[in-house]
Structures are given as C-alpha cells and as structure tokens.
C-alpha cells in the first residue's frame, strides 16, 4: 500500500491501492442545501472485501437521490448505516459511474483488473435466501441503493462496488456519457416494460411527467423506440423544445395549471368542483397534444404529491400509473373511485434488475438511446450540480461530473 496522495487523474500503478484518496462527501454537520452539504476531503481509501471491486472512477452520474442525502431528509443515510454497525460518519454519494477496475477482492468473478466498466447502483445479498430462491434482486429484502443507502459511491477517486455492479463500458461512449445514463435509463425501462401486461405497445399514448428531466428524457426515447406516443409535461418552452427533439409527439406546459398538490375534500363542493375543472382542462391539453381523444395507457410518474391525483384521473381504463419517486412530496391523494371503477393500476417501481440494466446499456451502445448528458461538472462542482437539481434549475437531460478523467470527450484510458 502506497502512502502517496495521488491527485485527481494521476493514476497509481494498477492494484497498488493508495492509503488515502479524495472524495467529495457529505457529513451530518453540513446537512442542508447541496451547495453546502458536499465538500472535497481526503479520507482513507476503502479496501475491496470478498466479491468486491475497487474502481478508479473516471466520471460519475449526478442523481436526485443525493439531493436527499445532502438534506439529511427524509432519511439520514449516515445515521441509518451507523445503526447497522458501520463506523463511517460521512457519506460518499454517486449511484452510477464509469471507470477502470483497479483492484479486486477474493472470489470476484466476471471482471478483471484493467477492465473499463460502467457501474450500476443496485446492491443486494447474492447469498440471501430470497435471491437463492429466484426472486428478482430488485424485490429482495436486501436491496440497497449504492451511493445512497450504501457508502463509497462514485463521488471519489475510488469507488467500492460488488462485482455484479460492473458492466462492460460501451466503447463508443465518453467517460462522462457512460457514467450518467444507467440510473435514469434503466429505472425508466423497468417502469415502462417491467410490469406486464401494462407495458408500452405500439400506438400507446404515454404521459411523461418531467419530460426534460433525467428520467423523462430516457422515457421519451424508450416509448418512441417501442412505437408508443410520448406526451411530455414540462415547465418551460426551452424544456418543451428539448422533449420534441427527443421524439415527444406533444408537450404540455404544467405552469398553465394550478390544481397541484393534495385534493380538496369532497365535502367542500366548491373547491372540489374548481379542482375537477382544472383536472379536466389538463386532460383536454393531453388530447390536444396527442391530436386525438384518447387517454394515456401508461402514466410515467415520479413527481408524486403534486401530480398523482391528476395522473390517477387521466390514466386510461385498465391502464397503469407507474411511480418511482416523490419529488414534490410523499403524501399523495388517490380518489379510489377512479382506481376501482376504471380498474386502473398504481404500480410502485424501484431501480432495475440486471437484465433491465443490460438492455439499457445495449440500447445506448447501439445508438438507439441517447444518454442525454447535457452538462458536465468538475469534481468540486458536484455540490453545485445537486443544488441545480434541488432548485429545478438544471439543464434538460442527465448530468455528470468528471472525477479522474482530465477532460471531457475521452473514451478510454488507453
Ligand atoms: N426509485 C428509483 O429507482 C428512482 C430512480 C431515479 C429517480 N428517482 C426519483 O425520481 C425523481 C425524478 O428524478 P430525475 O432524475 O428525473 O430528476 P430531474 O432530472 O430533476 O427531473 C425531474 C423533473 O420533474 C419535474 N418536476 C419537478 N417538480 C415537479 C412538480 N412539482 N410537478 C411536476 N413535475 C415536477 C421537472 O420538470 P418540469 O419543471 O420541466 O416539469 C424536472 O425536470 C426524483 O425524486 C428521484 O429521486 C427514483
């Protein structure tokens, strides 16, 4: 083990793990807005244990989950891990990335030192009884999000992952593009194709909230590829234009409506009528954007509290609202009459399984899915990138940060 502290981009000899490394990390005393929560520090480099891989990180993807981690809310991820017996009083975020396999622990299979890889964020216990009995790992009781619920994510010179989190890096991609599409791309893929029989079929209209966001930009393309008709919701004309450029057949500007959030109580007839009138107006906007009077077969949800009542109303008979997040809040109202009378489905969806992950990597590698990386930050800009997400001021698509990659545009270490 070498005592030298290597600067970002200055690669130690493969396998010779340095004692210390740089990490852009969160500490409990800095919990709050992302700009102040993240700071670059020097810490001990983790060692790969059994089945684990230490990756020299070239670039990292920026995702909303580390906005939550920085806020320390709704979950204090550091305290939660300490409760489980882990000693670290810091959190290294980053739930996806690209890099080079630097060192491997005992019993690692499928990857070797020197491999160029992309990293997925699902972490589970392969020896767990449920997984041994054949459950989808995403439904395992051991599932955790690496770089959120688990430490040593991609916002550091070295990341610690399990071997099954490493996938061959598509050779045509830059480090920064390779780092930033799996989490949103594969999550969107599971939402749209993982819940049979409610999967996107040719000709299906699909309503996509936050069409210009990380998930939304992936969802628009995935729906298009399957022959569906993506209708995106946005909050600005710039974002509308972006969605059209990705293949959205129509766009709705949500700022024209005001009925967001919790539903009024049904006993307040005036308030309920006003609310219903806005929901119906939004529904008419959907028809206009689609060019015909049909309801969405699938509603792609992640905005949560503000939008769920509208999603449940708009969704087609026998259709599905699939949700993976609650950006605007978690306490959302469902008018159960719409749910049962119209036999709709409200389906939670979280992460993605290995097959769904590989499907998305293959789509990107073959040029059928654009990773949509719109902005790349330097290592010290990781906090600022999360601040933009927090404030909904980000540019459309996905965002990445360079870690050890010296500049954008590079595709290989060689
Ligand atoms: N469970 C999982 O596996 C998983 C995976 C990925 C993401 N997520 C969650 O999904 C959410 C979105 O992630 P993302 O990466 O797509 O984030 P993002 O890039 O910030 O995009 C989210 C989009 O949502 C829209 N939005 C924000 N507030 C809204 C509101 N009150 N009502 C309607 N739309 C609103 C914004 O678009 P406009 O302002 O233009 O409408 C924004 O572009 C986050 O909460 C994240 O934690 C969960």
DSSP string, 309-373: HHHHHHSPTT-EEEE---TT-S-----HHHHHHTT-EEEE--S--HHHHHHHHHHHHTTSS---E
Backbone angle region of 11, left / alpha / beta, with phi > 0 → left and psi within -120 to 50 → alpha: beta
64 lines ligand 1 (CB under 6 A): yes
Task: Look at residue 256 in the predicted model and tell me its pLDDT.
Answer: 98
303 lines ligand 1 (CB under 6 A): yes
Task: Look at residue 392 in the predicted model and tell me its pLDDT.
Answer: 93
Element (H, E) at 67: helix 65-71
What's the CA-to-centroid distance between 254 and ligand 1, angstroms? 14
Of 67, 244, 327, the residue with max ligand 1 atoms within 8 A of its CB, to mutate for a pocket test, comes to: 327
Local confidence band at 200 (pLDDT 50, 70, 90 cut-offs): very high
* 20-181+371-402: in CATH 3.40.190.150: no
214 lines ligand 1 (CB under 6 A): yes
Q: Is the dihedral of CA 15, 104, 109, 358 positive or negative?
A: negative
- Tens-digit pLDDT profile for residues 309-356: 999 999 999 999 999 999 999 999 999 999 999 999 999 999 999 999
Contacts of 87 (CB under 8 A, 6+ apart): none
Residue 225, classed as helix, strand or coil, is helix
Ligand 1 atom 21: the closest Cα is on which residue?
A: 213
- Tens-digit pLDDT profile for residues 28-50: 999 999 999 999 999 999 999 99
275 lines ligand 1 (CB under 6 A): no
pTM of the model: 0.97
What's the CA-to-centroid distance between 5 and ligand 1, angstroms? 38
Local confidence band at 1 (pLDDT 50, 70, 90 cut-offs): confident
Task: Look at residue 336 in the predicted model and tell me its pLDDT.
Answer: 95
Domains 20-181+371-402 and 185-348 share a fold: no
Of 34, 213, 239, 350, the residue with max ligand 1 atoms within 8 A of its CB, to mutate for a pocket test, comes to: 213
- Tens-digit pLDDT profile for residues 261-289: 999 999 999 999 999 999 999 999 999 99
Q: Is the dihedral of CA 327, 330, 331, 336 positive or negative?
A: positive
Ligand 1 atom 23: the closest Cα is on which residue?
A: 210
- Distances from the Cα of 89 to the Cα of 2, 19, 29, 62, angstroms: 24, 18, 10, 22
Contacts of 306 (CB under 8 A, 6+ apart): 260, 261, 328, 329
Q: What is the mean pLDDT of the segment spanning 43-65?
A: 97
- Distances from the Cα of 299 to the Cα of 200, 244, 307, angstroms: 11, 18, 11
User: Angle at CA 252, nearest 5°, toward 374 and 304?
Assistant: 75
174 lines ligand 1 (CB under 6 A): no
Residues paired with 91 in a beta bridge: 26
Residues paired with 101 in a beta bridge: 55
CB 169 within 8 Å of CB 178: yes
183 lines ligand 1 (CB under 6 A): yes
- Distances from the Cα of 131 to the Cα of 177, 183, 353, angstroms: 31, 22, 12
212 lines ligand 1 (CB under 6 A): yes
311 lines ligand 1 (CB under 6 A): no
The full set of domain ranges for the chain reads 20-181+371-402, 185-348
Two tokens, residue 190: 């599971």
Task: Look at residue 2 in the predicted model and tell me its pLDDT.
Answer: 81
Query: How far apart, in whole angstroms, are the C-alpha atoms of residue 286 and residue 232?
Result: 9
| Annotation: CATH topology of 185-348 | Rossmann fold (3.40.50)
Closest to 151 in 3D by CA, of 121, 108, 176, 193: 121
**Maximum Cα–Cα distance for the chain, whole Å?**
72
306 lines ligand 1 (CB under 6 A): yes
What's the CA-to-centroid distance between 1 and ligand 1, angstroms? 42
């Amino acid at each position: 083990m070498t005592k030298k502290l290597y600067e970002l981009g200055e690669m130690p000899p493969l396998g010779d793990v340095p004692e210390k490394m740089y990490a852009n990390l969160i500490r409990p005393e800095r919990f709050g807005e992302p700009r102040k929560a993240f700071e670059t520090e020097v810490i001990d480099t983790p060692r790969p244990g059994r089945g684990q891989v230490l990756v020299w990180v070239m670039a990292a993807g920026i995702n909303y989950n580390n906005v939550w981690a920085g806020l320390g809310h709704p979950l204090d991820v550091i305290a939660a891990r300490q409760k489980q017996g882990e000693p670290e009083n810091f959190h290294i975020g980053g739930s996806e990335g690209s890099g080079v396999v630097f060192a491997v622990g005992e019993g690692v299979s499928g990857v070797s030192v020197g491999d160029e890889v992309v990293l997925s964020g699902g972490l589970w216990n392969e020896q767990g009884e449920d997984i041994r009995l054949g459950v989808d790992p995403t439904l395992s009781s051991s599932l955790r999000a690496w770089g959120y619920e688990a430490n040593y994510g991609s916002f550091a010179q070295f990341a610690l992952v399990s071997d099954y989190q490493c996938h061959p890096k598509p050779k045509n991609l830059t480090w920064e593009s390779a780092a930033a599409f799996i989490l949103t791309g594969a999550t969107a893929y599971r939402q749209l194709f993982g819940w049979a029989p409610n999967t996107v079929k040719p000709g299906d209209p699909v309503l996509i909230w936050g069409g210009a966001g990380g998930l939304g930009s992936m969802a628009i393309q995935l729906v298009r590829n399957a022959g569906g008709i993506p209708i995106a919701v946005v909050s600005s004309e710039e974002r509308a234009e972006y969605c059209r450029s990705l293949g959205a057949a129509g766009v709705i500007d949500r700022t024209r409506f005001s009925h967001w959030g919790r539903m009024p109580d049904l006993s307040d007839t005036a308030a309920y009528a006003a609310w219903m009138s806005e929901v119906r107006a939004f529904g008419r906007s959907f028809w206009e954007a689609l060019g015909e009077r049909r309801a969405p077969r699938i509603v792609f949800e992640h905005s949560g509290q503000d939008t769920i009542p509208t999603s449940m109303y708009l969704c087609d008979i026998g259709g599905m609202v699939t949700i993976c997040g609650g950006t605007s809040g978690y306490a959302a109202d469902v008018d159960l009459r719409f749910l049962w009378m119209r036999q709709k489905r409200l389906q939670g969806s979280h992460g993605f399984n290995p097959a769904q992950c590989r499907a998305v990597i293959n789509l990107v590698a073959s040029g059928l899915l654009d990773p949509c990386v719109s902005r790349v930050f330097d290592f010290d800009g990781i906090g600022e990138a999360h601040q933009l997400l927090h404030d909904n001021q980000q540019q459309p698509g996905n965002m990445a940060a360079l870690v050890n990659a010296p500049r954008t545009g590079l595709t290989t270490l060689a």
